[in-house]
Amino acid sequence: MRGVNMYALDSFLSLNLTEVSTKIKQGEISPVDIVTALINRIDTVDSKLNSYITVNREGALATAKEREKEVLEGKYRGPLHGIPIGLKDLINTKGLKTTCGSSIFENHIPDENAELVNRLEEAGAIIIGKNNTHQFAYGPTGDRSHVGPVRNPYNIKKMTGGSSSGSAASVAACLNYGTIGTDTGGSVRIPASFCGVVGMKPTYGRVSKRGIYPLSWTLDHAGPLTRSIMDNALVLNAISGYDPLDPDSKETDQEDFSRYIGLGIEGKVIGIPKSYYYENLDPEIEQSIYQAIDCFKRLGASIVEVDIPSMEEISEAQKVILKSEAYAVHENNLKEFPELWDEEVKERLLTGLNVSGSDFAKALRVQKIAKQEFANVLDSVDVLLTPTMSILPPDVNARFLSDDYDDSQHIRWQILKLTAPTDLNGFPSLTLPSGFSKEGLPIGVQLIGMEFEEAKLYQFGYAIEQELSLNLNRVEIE
């Protein structure tokens, strides 16, 4: 046994966001009862997972009372009204501690919200707390934080992936109805895949980054993690949109990302990259992904092979930009607080000193090539389909793929390999569960689309989600 049987919980805690939203609107469930039950569950379960750094007990209950009153008065704000949402602890919250997973900021209380928090609150959401993260989001393993590692709800000996580690684990363990993470090399999609939830990295500039502590100005994205495709689209509806005070924000029309959900995919075309994405896969992941491909065929989609020529250069360019900008972001922190770093994170930051101006300039050039090559392929297919991860969740604190212990064998590169390319080119990428390993560990499939075509990704994601009908979010915690 691995802990608390999900079926033994208050029935509404194991509902997804869309389901509980309907019950709130109809007056069948009170936001106050939901928040009270969630806080009790966090207090009971999270000591084993460590998915939260700060729980917003008083604030969440106070907001829940306001949202309940609004429902009674007929002032329903929409699908997120009264819905408890978690935030990665890089995202500023006025009056609520934001630590970035680091003792440098362990007592930091922001004076104002990040823009996406304002949008969530306007939509009626309740901020239930701040989710644990790899220190300053600089790591895909999710086990380096000043409050300790996050553990995978499907097996607490296994890592969640990172850096949005607590964000994914808390969704999977029913400790909220959705979270917001950040993704610079895969930090939404990696833990979503390892923890068996849905994670979206939207188009670069689709969601405001104002008020989120940066890791890389060029690569950072923010996006939702949820239990279902529809849930994910509803959260993205709330947080997306142009922000004139964010220099990277893209001015686009507000849209409903759920608008294609439920439409068939018969006659659509799915591209399968010939190389890079399907190399050196764990056999169980390979089997799961090809089962997903067969599923799409049964739904009437055509499958074609495609070629993206410069994948190795694209992968390397993402690393170069990340190293350089991460060091630039943290240069003063490294000087002012030399002893307050996780040694692994500090060592990785210092590799940014080895990036030359020439290297950085070349990487920016490759970024343009990455946009062009992916766009060329996506002109001929509707979406690309790849594995999200090439390996199953490793043990917490595992670091090397072999006994050589050289940096090229560090586990981070294998974890980042299939997600990082679309952080470089900014194209939207969605991961959703495609199955489980023999040991019951989640496996994820990744869908990649053209810029600003998140709604199409949700259409494909929902189609396979319904076809697979996986028994997710019923995990037990040891």
DSSP states of 86-124:
EEETTB-BTTB---TTSGGGTT---SS--HHHHHHHHTT
Residues near 145 by beta carbon (within 8 Å), at least 6 away in sequence:
53, 101, 102, 132, 133, 134, 135, 165, 342
pLDDT at 401: 78
pLDDT at 10: 64
State pLDDT tens for residues 192-246.
Answer: 999 999 999 999 999 999 999 999 999 999 999 999 999 999 999 999 999 999 9
State pLDDT tens for residues 395-414.
Answer: 999 999 776 666 667 899 99
pLDDT at 477: 53
Task: With a cut of 50, say whether residue 7 has pLDDT above it.
Answer: no
Task: Give the residue, 314 or 470, on which the prediction is more confident.
Answer: 314
Task: With a cut of 80, say whether residue 354 has pLDDT above it.
Answer: yes
Residue 219 is classified by DSSP as: T
Task: With a cut of 50, say whether residue 286 has pLDDT above it.
Answer: yes
Domain residue spans in the chain? 6-468
Banded model confidence at residue 434, pLDDT cuts 50, 70, 90: very high
Catalytic residue (one of 21, 30, 51, 88):
88
The mean pLDDT of 268-283, rounded to a whole number, is 97
pLDDT at 405: 63
State pLDDT tens for residues 208-217.
Answer: 999 999 999 9
pLDDT at 2: 35
pLDDT at 20: 97
285-322 in b/e burial notation, b at 16+ Cβ within 10 A? beebbeebbebbeebebeeeebebebbebbbbbbbbbb
* Alpha-carbon span 378 to 458, nearest angstrom: 16
Task: With a cut of 80, say whether residue 73 has pLDDT above it.
Answer: yes
pLDDT at 404: 66
pLDDT at 137: 98
Task: With a cut of 70, say whether residue 337 has pLDDT above it.
Answer: yes
Catalytic residue (one of 164, 187, 288, 390):
187
Mean of pLDDT over the chain: 95
CATH for 6-468 (3.90.1150.10, 2.40.50.100, 3.40.50.2300, 3.90.1300.10) = 3.90.1300.10
Q: Return the closest-CA partner of residue 441 out of 304, 285, 294, 303.
A: 285
The mean pLDDT of 86-112, rounded to a whole number, is 98
Which sign does the torsion angle of CA 67, 61, 44, 186 carry? positive
Q: Return the closest-CA partner of residue 195 out of 206, 209, 181, 208.
A: 181
Catalytic residue (one of 30, 163, 164, 429):
163
State pLDDT tens for residues 22-40.
Answer: 999 999 999 999 999 999 9
CA distances from 57 to 23, 92, 128, 475 (A): 23, 17, 7, 24
Residue 73 is classified by DSSP as: T
The mean pLDDT of 162-189, rounded to a whole number, is 98
**Is 187 assigned a catalytic role?**
yes
* Alpha-carbon span 151 to 165, nearest angstrom: 8
State pLDDT tens for residues 304-319.
Answer: 999 999 999 999 999 9
Residues near 335 by beta carbon (within 8 Å), at least 6 away in sequence:
none
In DSSP terms, 387 is beta-bridged to 445
Residues near 154 by beta carbon (within 8 Å), at least 6 away in sequence:
2, 172, 195, 196, 393, 440, 441, 442, 475
Contact 85, 120 (CB under 8 A): yes
Task: With a cut of 70, say whether residue 474 has pLDDT above it.
Answer: no
Contact 93, 130 (CB under 8 A): yes
Banded model confidence at residue 469, pLDDT cuts 50, 70, 90: confident
**Is 88 assigned a catalytic role?**
yes
Q: What are phi and psi of 459, to 5 degrees?
A: -60, -50
